[in-house]
Structure 1
Amino acid sequence: MRRRRAAGGSGAGRGLRRWAAAAALVALLAGCAPREGVEEIHYRLKWLYNVSTVGDLYALEKGHFARAGLRVNVKPGGPERDALKELELGHAQFGVASADQVLRAAAKGAPLVVLAQIFQVNPLQWIYRPDKSPFREPADLRGRTVGVTFGGNDETILRALLARHGIAESELRLFSVRYDYTPFYEGRVHFWPLYINAQAPIIGERLEKAGEPIAFLDPHRWGVRFVANSVITTREMLRQHPRTVSRFLAALLEAWREALDPANEEAAVQVLLAADRETPEAIVRRQLPVTRRLMVPEPPAAFGRIDEAAWRETEEILRLQGLIERPVDVRSLFAGNLP
Structure 2
Amino acid sequence: MRRFRIFTSIAAASTLLLAACGTADQDKTAPAASGGALTPIKLQLQWFYQAQFAGYIAAVDQGFYKEQGLDVQLLEGGVDIVPQTVLAQGKADYAVAWVPKALASREQGAQITDVGQIFARSGTYQVAWKDSGITSPAQFKGKKIGNWGFGNEFELFAGMTKSGIDPGKDVTLVQQQFDMQALLKHEIDAAQAMSYNEYAQLLEAKNPATGKLYTPDDFSIIDWKQNGSAMLQDAVWANTAKLSDPNYQAQTVKFLLGTIKGWAYCRDNPEKCRDLVVAKGSKLGKSHQLWQMNEVNKLIWPAAGGIGVVDDAAWKQTVDISQTTKNQTGDTVLKKAPEGQAYTNDYINQAITQAKAAGIDVNGTSFQPETVTLEAGGA
Category of TM-score, reference length = shorter chain: 0.7 to 0.9
Q: Give me the whole-angstrom Cα distance separating, in 2, the residues matched to 1:330 and 1:126.
A: 34
Q: In 1, are the aligned partners of 2:135 and 2:222 still within 8 Å (CA)?
A: no
Give me the TM-score of the superposition, normalised by structure 2. 0.73
Alignment partner of 1:301 is 2:311? no
Residue matched to 2:184: 185
Q: In 2, are the aligned partners of 1:6 and 1:325 still within 8 Å (CA)?
A: no
Structure 2 residues not aligned, in runs of 5+ = 1-6, 16-27, 30-36, 327-331, 348-379
CA deviations on 1:143-189 (whole Å, 9 max, x unpaired) are 332112234312x2221111112223333332221246443112231
CA deviations on 1:256-294 (whole Å, 9 max, x unpaired) are 111122xx1222121111113431112222222111112
Q: Give me the whole-angstrom Cα distance separating, in 2, the residues matched to 1:105 and 1:177.
A: 24
Identify which range, 142-151 or 265-274, moves more after superposition. 142-151
Q: CA RMSD in A?
A: 2.7
Instruction: Select which of 314, 325, 334 maps to 1:310.
Output: 314
Amino acid in the other structure paired with 2:286: E
Amino acid in the other structure paired with 1:266: E
* Identity %, equivalent residues: 20
Higher RCO structure, 1 or 2 (CA under 8 Å, sep 6+): 1
Structure ranking higher in helix proportion: 1
Q: Give me the whole-angstrom Cα distance separating, in 1, the residues matched to 2:183 and 2:10.
A: 35
Residue matched to 1:157: 155
- CA shift in 2, pair 1:207/1:290, >3 Å: farther
Residue matched to 2:68: 68
Q: In 2, are the aligned partners of 1:150 and 1:176 still within 8 Å (CA)?
A: yes
Residue matched to 1:42: 42
Residue matched to 2:99: 99
Amino acid in the other structure paired with 1:239: S
Residue matched to 1:228: 233
Q: Secondary structure at the match of 2:251?
A: helix
Q: Give me the whole-angstrom Cα distance separating, in 2, the residues matched to 1:286 and 1:58.
A: 17
Give me the TM-score of the superposition, normalised by structure 1. 0.81
Amino acid in the other structure paired with 1:116: G
Q: Give me the whole-angstrom Cα distance separating, in 2, the residues matched to 1:180 and 1:76.
A: 20
- CA shift in 2, pair 1:323/1:122, >3 Å: same
Q: Give me the whole-angstrom Cα distance separating, in 2, the residues matched to 1:63 and 1:272.
A: 16
Q: Secondary structure at the match of 1:171?
A: coil
Instruction: Select which of 251, 258, 265 maps to 1:258.
Output: 265
Q: Secondary structure at the match of 1:105?
A: helix
- CA shift in 2, pair 1:284/1:151, >3 Å: closer
Q: Give me the whole-angstrom Cα distance separating, in 1, the residues matched to 2:118 and 2:225.
A: 16
- CA shift in 2, pair 1:180/1:96, >3 Å: closer
Q: Return the offset for 1:109.
A: 3.6
Residue matched to 2:84: 84
Equivalenced residues, count: 305
Q: Return the offset for 1:44.
A: 0.9
Amino acid in the other structure paired with 1:222: N
Q: Give me the whole-angstrom Cα distance separating, in 2, the residues matched to 1:141 and 1:215.
A: 13
Q: In 2, are the aligned partners of 1:196 and 1:290 still within 8 Å (CA)?
A: yes
Q: Return the offset for 1:198.
A: 1.3
